[in-house]
Structure 1
């Protein structure tokens, strides 16, 4: 099987991981494993930013790659993937001399682990950078333009998948919030009706009673309305028959 055919197979495999139920971690592990298979590298690691913007290691093809990624994130000088994430730009074909000059601590650890070159590709869609993929090679191998394009295509697919998963979760949250708001509105209307009937109040006045009681007692408006509409409890301290 030729390289092009295998690349197509891998893209299909990654696409299959997006089928519900979507497992982000499984998809990212497939990404690092296939990056090693398709490119002239010996190990790969992947980092993404958490909700606070701090990079975290989420997948690695080997223990050596995992340790190097952790060292890079925990060290003061950073490294290729930190720079890649910060700038959103590819950091490729970085040999031992270049890495040593920029990040001596990371370079020493990489050499000790048996890696002579490193490459980092961003998980990026336009201006949204989610993380980076680190690619480690034992020799000072230069990735061809075709290799870089393949690696970036894999990273781009992972980025789109994660952004899509985030959008779905956000839509679900919004839908839940809207449903809660609708349910709360119904309960409030019911409570207004109870107060209006019991005390002969107008609709607006009944709503004012509910809000005032909620503020004075430190309760949520919906909870006060529910206690009136469902539990039959009335704010007698405010409204007297």
Structure 2
């Protein structure tokens, strides 16, 4: 399979994130393996930030890399962490060089133990918003080529857009669910108003005020009280606010 075909596959997979049953874990795991296929590297790890603005390991091309990335998070160090915080790519880091690994020596030692000699980190960034980083590892010394850098950053950008789009959809779905819940609650309250209006000879406004007067000091939700009225499970006593006819 050509590089162009693999890139096309990644774009198609990214489009799939627009569906309701999108699996972010599966998508990013496939992306990590795609990076190994596309780029001249041996392993890939992907970290993204959670709702608390804390980096979390979300995918890795293999178990060794997964454990190495967890080590980086536990020690709050490494190129991926630095890349996320700075928003800038960390390239051609020689894991055997004390100077190059200044600030994350323990991570470098752990990476060398895993067999890696060089690493790179690419930001998952859209404009000024950084949501994570892609970490690339190689067992051979050498520089990341310009073409591999362009492809790697393109993959990171596609993943970023896909994830941000998914978060937008999830937020939209949540807002819609909240709106639907509010609409459903309103229907229930209207039904309860009608029952109280018939029972006590009140107008609908007076029925609503009666429910509010009962619920507020008891810290009850109006919807909860309305359901009790509809289900005939209300065991309290209403004090109608008026006797006007509906």
- TM-score of the superposition, structure 2-length normalised? 0.87
Residue by residue, what CA displacement relative to the aligned partner does 1:82-106 show, whole Å, maximum 9, x if unpaired? 1111122211111232443231111
Structure 2: gaps of 5 or more residues: none
Residue by residue, what CA displacement relative to the aligned partner does 1:171-218 show, whole Å, maximum 9, x if unpaired? 221111111111111221222222223223333332121112112333
Structure 1: gaps of 5 or more residues: none
Check whether the contact 2:206–2:240 (CA below 8 A) recurs between aligned residues. Answer: no
- Which residue matches 2:31? 31
- Which residue matches 1:87? 86
Higher helix share: 1
Query: Does residue 1:206 correspond to 2:191, yes or no?
Result: no
- Which residue matches 2:60? 60
Whole-angstrom distance in 2 between the partners of 1:99 and 1:37: 27
- Which residue matches 2:176? 175
Check whether the contact 2:6–2:34 (CA below 8 A) recurs between aligned residues. Answer: no
- Which residue matches 1:220? 221
Check whether the contact 2:44–2:65 (CA below 8 A) recurs between aligned residues. Answer: yes
- TM-score of the superposition, structure 1-length normalised? 0.88
Give, in angstroms, the shift of residue 40 of structure 1: 1.8
- Which residue matches 1:151? 152
Whole-angstrom distance in 1 between the partners of 2:11 and 2:234: 60
Q: Alpha carbon RMSD of aligned pairs, Å?
A: 2.3
- Which residue matches 1:48? 48
Deviating 4+ runs (over 4 angstroms): none
Whole-angstrom distance in 1 between the partners of 2:11 and 2:181: 39
